[in-house]
């Protein structure tokens, strides 16, 4: 019974005291060792467990096994000893409570980014140092907008990793969470990008029909993308001129009424109306769940640079403010709870600043 070292060439497990494997590979000079432990269980059957690259962890596990055997206790095998992260991630994405999340698409996207780095690793081999290495790697990789990946994006991915391990620990599929206690990166994701009227016209002209209606709603109502895509016909009140959002429809879990412009009322009247529970926005007979690729393509064709869908919310709020509406009515329509967050969505233009001295806005 002892600690064993796996030969990276022939995969044979050798005693930790052996300097070279029988295949000729020099184990003593190899830094990336994979440690195993070997022991006899109470029924005198030879058992081996793969621990990973951490010798201290192998020694700790070996002591636990020896202590349990001496005391006659059952030797509990680590639940994640042979679980690959890609299998853990696939299990997580199939959980009913995860599929029901409004952020499920975001979780799937995060997992797609996590898999190339963690996928083929045993979940027990993922350490805080490895998570930090992932973060640093992602920060120097280009995003789909061709600039470096933002800290906020990396934080979403690491948070997803943390949630996966929390679920795994709770369900007995992992012993510990390597992300526990890891501080998130400092974010500076405040944006002041506002779409000009000319850019809006160009953007609409380059959007597919099923995306064009969604963009119009975002531009005129300041609704979030998830709120728009989740709309059903029962929430569209054309008689009163409102969209009715229930608590479960919104990010803040507060119900609210969103006023409709005349242009939107006309647009909804021209669309084929379904039953109250049917989704409003569909494409080829299926409800639209994501428009990211189509929207990015439309922005490129329209020559609208450095613009994301959420910036339409900024634009609508800014347009309302410039039209002279008071903050409280705008906040009631947008669902903002605090003035601090609401102010981040307001961008004072150069023309407005000039008006301080010129007396009018150009």
Least confident of 90-104, 117-131, 182-196, 337-351: 337-351
**Cα 208 from chain centre:** 26
- The label of the residue with tokens 């407005």 reads 352
User: What is the pLDDT, as a whole number, of residue 353?
Assistant: 64
**Confidence band, pLDDT 50/70/90 cuts, at residue 11:** confident
- The encoded tokens of residue 21 equal 């494997």
Count of structural domains within the chain: 3
- The encoded tokens of residue 176 equal 């510990």
User: What is the pLDDT, as a whole number, of residue 137?
Assistant: 94
89 lies in the same domain as 67 = no
Q: Domain for residue 315, yes or no?
A: yes
145 lies in the same domain as 122 = yes
Question: What pTM, to 2 d.p., does this model score?
Answer: 0.58
Least confident of 70-74, 122-126, 308-312: 70-74
**Confidence band, pLDDT 50/70/90 cuts, at residue 18:** confident
Q: What is the CATH number of the domain that holds 276?
A: 1.10.443.10
Query: What separation in angstroms does the CA of 301 have from each of 165, 199, 294, 304, 305?
Result: 41, 11, 11, 8, 10
Percentage of the chain beyond pLDDT 70 is 91
17 lies in the same domain as 89 = no
* Helix residue ranges per DSSP H, 147-208: 151-170, 197-205
User: What is the pLDDT, as a whole number, of residue 100?
Assistant: 87
Res. 361: pLDDT tops 60 = no
**Among 71, 101, 121, where does a domain finish?**
71
228 lies in the same domain as 329 = yes
* Helix residue ranges per DSSP H, 243-291: 262-270
Q: Domain for residue 246, yes or no?
A: yes
Contact assessment for residue 344 and residue 190, using Cβ atoms and an 8 Å cutoff: yes
**Among 15, 44, 71, where does a domain finish?**
71
User: What is the pLDDT, as a whole number, of residue 147?
Assistant: 80
**Among 21, 45, 71, where does a domain finish?**
71
Mean pLDDT, residues 118-127 taken together = 89
Using DSSP bridges, classify how beta strands 242-245 and 256-259 pair: parallel, antiparallel or unpaired.
antiparallel
Q: Domain for residue 24, yes or no?
A: yes
User: How many CB atoms are closer than 10 A to CB 215?
Assistant: 21
- The encoded tokens of residue 38 equal 């070997």
277-313 per-residue burial string, b: 16 or more CB within 10 A, e: under 16: eeebbeeeeeebeebeebbeebbeebebeebbbebbb
56 lies in the same domain as 145 = no
Q: How far apart are CA 169 and CA 281, in angstroms?
A: 39
261 lies in the same domain as 284 = yes
- The label of the residue with tokens 């800290």 reads 151
**Confidence band, pLDDT 50/70/90 cuts, at residue 75:** low
User: How many CB atoms are closer than 10 A to CB 315?
Assistant: 24
Res. 123: pLDDT tops 60 = yes
131 lies in the same domain as 24 = no
Higher pLDDT, 144 or 216: 216
Q: Domain for residue 183, yes or no?
A: no
Q: How far apart are CA 329 and CA 334, in angstroms?
A: 9
User: What is the pLDDT, as a whole number, of residue 316?
Assistant: 92
Per DSSP, the residues of 83-126 read -BHHHHHHHHHT-HHHHTSTTHHHHHHHHHHHHHHHTTSBGGG-
- The label of the residue with tokens 């990793």 reads 161
User: What is the pLDDT, as a whole number, of residue 48?
Assistant: 83
158 lies in the same domain as 218 = no
Q: Residue 237 in 3-state DSSP?
A: strand
Sheet with 256-259: list strands edge to edge: 236-237, 242-245, 256-259
Q: Domain for residue 80, yes or no?
A: no
Res. 29: pLDDT tops 60 = yes
Res. 295: pLDDT tops 90 = yes
Most confident of 3-12, 57-66, 294-303: 294-303
Q: Which of 158, 92, 167 shows the shortest CA–CA distance to 131?
A: 158
Q: Could you tell me the residue range of the domain that residue 66 belongs to?
A: 2-71
Helices (H) and strands (E) in the chain, counts: 15, 9
Q: How far apart are CA 313 and CA 315, in angstroms?
A: 5
pLDDT in tens, 219-268: 999 999 999 999 999 999 999 999 999 988 888 888 999 999 999 999 99
Res. 42: pLDDT tops 80 = no
Q: How far apart are CA 180 and CA 131, in angstroms?
A: 11
pLDDT in tens, 166-207: 999 888 888 889 998 889 888 766 667 889 999 999 999 999
Most confident of 72-86, 132-146, 163-177, 214-228: 214-228
215 lies in the same domain as 330 = yes
**Mean pLDDT, the chain, as a whole number?**
86
Q: Domain for residue 77, yes or no?
A: no
210 lies in the same domain as 128 = no
């Amino acid at each position: 019974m002892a600690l064993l070292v796996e030969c990276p060439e022939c995969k044979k497990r050798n005693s930790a005291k052996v300097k070279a494997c029988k295949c000729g590979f020099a184990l003593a000079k190899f830094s990336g060792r994979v440690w195993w432990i070997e022991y006899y269980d109470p029924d005198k059957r030879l058992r081996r467990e793969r621990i990973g690259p951490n010798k201290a962890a192998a020694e700790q596990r070996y002591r636990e096994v020896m202590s349990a055997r001496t005391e006659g206790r059952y030797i509990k095998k680590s639940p994640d000893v042979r679980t690959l992260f890609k299998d853990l991630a696939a299990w997580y994405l199939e959980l009913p409570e995860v599929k029901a999340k409004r952020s499920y698409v975001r979780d799937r996207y995060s997992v797609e980014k996590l898999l190339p780095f963690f996928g083929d690793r045993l979940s027990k081999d993922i350490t805080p140092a490895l998570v930090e290495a992932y973060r640093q790697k992602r920060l120097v990789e280009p995003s789909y907008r061709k600039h470096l990946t933002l800290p906020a994006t990396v934080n979403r991915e690491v948070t997803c990793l943390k949630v996966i391990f929390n679920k795994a620990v709770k369900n007995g599929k992992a012993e510990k969470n390597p992300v526990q206690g890891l501080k998130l990166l400092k974010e500076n994701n405040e944006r002041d990008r506002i779409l000009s009227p000319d850019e809006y016209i160009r953007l609409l002209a380059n959007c597919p029909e099923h995306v064009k209606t969604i963009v119009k709603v975002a531009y005129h109502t300041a609704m979030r993308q998830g709120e728009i895509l989740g709309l059903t016909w029962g929430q569209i009140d054309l008689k009163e001129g409102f969209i009715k959002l229930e608590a479960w429809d919104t990010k803040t879990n507060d119900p609210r009424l969103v006023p409709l412009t005349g242009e939107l009322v006309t647009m909804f009247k021209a669309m084929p109306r379904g039953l109250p529970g049917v989704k409003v926005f569909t494409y080829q007979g299926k409800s639209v769940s994501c428009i990211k690729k189509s929207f990015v393509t439309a922005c490129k064709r329209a020559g609208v640079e450095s613009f994301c869908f959420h910036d339409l919310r900024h634009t609508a709020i800014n347009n309302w403010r410039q039209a002279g509406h008071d903050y409280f009515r705008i906040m009631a329509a947008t669902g903002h709870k605090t003035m601090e967050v609401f102010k981040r969505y307001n961008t004072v233009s150069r023309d407005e600043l000039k008006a301080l001295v010129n007396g009018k806005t150009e």
